[in-house]
Amino acid sequence: AQVERLAQLVAAAVGTARRMAQGVSGFVLHHGGLELALRELAADCERRDGVECALRVVPELARGLSDEQAYHLFRIAQEATAGALRHAGARRLAIALDGDAEGVRLAVVHDGGGAADGARLAEARRLIGHRAGLLGAALRIRTDGVRE
């Protein structure tokens, strides 16, 4: 009974920490914009996870997005980087936000392998796909090592 209670307390603490981290990210996003939020995300990957994380952002593009677009793009980047670190064992990441006349492109590229847990990968794809759909965007996940 005590082990079960301890497990519940740990799970609650992890949930609280996640909500706090998302709140901090939301604050940075709201007050500093998408570019600053992505810079913080890349810095967190390096500081917390010890991985190299390159970032390339077209500032004018990031500033031209609505708050809703910026929020969803940030959360997509956050989910993609978390998945690359936790499930694919990435040691190097690159986050890029650019675009052209066709629209905006967010890319998260990593050197990790395939996900060990297919159910978690499917859930991450579902969440990212849902957010992309809210933006009217297409989601493309490539696993062949070719960068688009």
What is the 3 state secondary structure string of 55-107?
EEECHHHHHCCCHHHHHHHHHHHHHHHHHHHHCCCCCEEEEEEEEECCEEEEE
Q: What pLDDT does 6 receive?
A: 75
Q: Return all residues near 98 (Cβ < 8 A) that are at least 6 apart.
A: 56, 57, 58, 61, 104, 105
* Residues of the chain scoring pLDDT < 50: 19-20, 24, 146-148
Q: What pLDDT does 17 receive?
A: 58
Beta carbons of 105 and 112 less than 8 angstroms apart: no
Q: What pLDDT does 126 receive?
A: 87
Angstrom distance (rounded) from CA 83 to CA 121: 8
Q: Which strands, in side-by-side order, build the sheet including 52-57?
A: 52-57, 92-100, 103-110
Q: What pLDDT does 100 receive?
A: 83
User: Which residue do the tokens 């490539």 mark?
Assistant: 142
pTM of the model: 0.74
